[in-house]
Structure 1
Amino acid sequence: MRVSTMSPDELIDAILDAVAELTPAQRRQLQRRLAVAGLLVPETLATDQQRLHAAPALGNKIKQTRAAKPVAPALSDDAGAPQTSFVKPAATTAQEHPQQSRAAKSTSSFLSALPPVPISPAPVERLPADRSAGHAQSEQGNMRRPKSDRAAPYRSPISGKVVVGSPLHTEAKAADPHLMPPLPGQAPERPLILVVERGSYMLRWPGEAPQRVRLTFRAHVTEQEAFYDTLIGVLETVAQRLHDIKADPHTARLDIRCADLLFVQQVRGEIPCEDITLRVRRTHALKLLDHFLEWRIVHQA
């Protein structure tokens, strides 16, 4: 606001316009600051004392002012004729109501002595503390991913098992004189041999005949997905049998063999899994393998 180039009446109009744009809360704040600064001094108006004598005098003065006011000439339609500027309503009001003009001038002097009132912006909603910038970016990244690229919890597609080899506890090979029975609560001392194929596996328990099991799937799976599902299925079978004989899985050692070199390298972590479904299966299989004491997987043609 350029005060030096404005007349007193224009300054009053500008201040009133600025106050009118304030919100009720900001007006109350302005009023409190004026009161604290001692700028809201109560005025003693002439109309508040001896009203019967002051009011008629003010009325006569207003009539005299209106009679002495010159009439503005009408605008000319000619383009070259001089045109008079419009008269501001605020100036006319000040001439017609001198008491209100004096009160406005007094208020303007009070406002001019005040420092500018800072207007605080609207409150901005903050995110919770646990949602950091990195977490928000991670969520945005997940939202931008296609539906097929979103990681989902593993759900086994295996719907059934069919034993095609010798069942357990039957027709075991000749007793090995060096084979010792496991201690109570422990797995066999020798490693458990797991031969993983695409949709079937063979489990060789120490001292027992090997058992071959074929799996059935409720949905279509790819060749690599079938290898992972078969590995997960045989690991769950071994864990369940150890639980049945009350043996601790952390005492068992697994010797896993598979003819698919790509699958073996992926489980070892030598090559990455490009497909999200394979990564989910590999993560679940590694969690199951962590329950055992030792394990290895080798390529067997």
Structure 2
Amino acid sequence: MQTTSTELPAGRKRKTPGSGLSSVWRHIVRDRQLLILFIPCIIFFVLFRYGPIYGLIIAFKDYNVYQGIMGSEWVGLEHFRRFFEGPDFWLLFRNTLLLGLFTLLWAFPFPILFAVLLNEVRSIRFKKTIQTFSYLPAFLSVVIVSSMIIDFLSPTHGLVNEVIKFFGFEPKYFLASSEWFRTIYISSDIWQHMGYDAIIYLAAIASIDPTLYEAAKVDGASRFHMMRYITIPSIMPTILIMFILKSGAMFRIGYEKVLLLYSPMTYDVADVFSTYVYRKGLLETNYSYAAAVGLFESLIALVMLLISQFISKRAGGRGLW
């Protein structure tokens, strides 16, 4: 009686029971120091990102502090209906969309252009000096940046109005003018984040094969042509990934700077979902209604992320997944 034996293809080993688990354990033991360093990050996301998801239940309840989340009355989509039918919905939607869209259109290209131009600088000392000064605003808190903006644009002693008065014009209260708010917000955002965001693009540029530039130089290409046909196409995958991330955060405008710069006189252009949630939730203690508005804002941000992912995949074949 003959016994047949099955042979595995060349290069493959027969798996033994428990080999997968032991392999995972070996990787954990090998990378234990990195995993220990990663523990604070996990704790942060569990406590401040995933833990609060449970609280979204109050968006569907008439939340009462004394009755608790589970003891409060269930009202379903009542708060969403009130928000959609109320007079503030379209104003908030328009302001959030325009402020996020204009910030994306104006602030997104600046770090790319800055990184490409900075890469062309041949003086190392000058390059490092420019980098240092461009990075510094990113380390300033939003409160400090907003305070600087308020001081610079003050109608009584602000630097900008002092220059305006020097040329014989009347000073202007910029922060009380609706027509200037978006310009001030976007300009300050570019100034604060341009240098820091350029680090990613400089790292992508540093990974480009130098022989490409040498071959282009031999063929007689100018520095402009090398930027256009080598540098920018080589960092395009990085640009697409950053575009997806920025697009997903377009509706998630941080309320801090808006809250510090706006006033009732500029609500018609400055009031966004996040500041509305702050006023309704913390100042008016209408927690359920504020949670419904915040949940809607998060869903819109998710939709924008999916749309930008689809566009990126169709345009360049790259995406987050």
What's the TM-score, normalizing by structure 1?
Answer: 0.22
- The structure with the largest helix share of the pair is 2
Q: Which has the higher contact order (CA 8 A, sep 6+)?
A: 2
What's the TM-score, normalizing by structure 2?
Answer: 0.21
Higher Cα Rg, which structure: 1
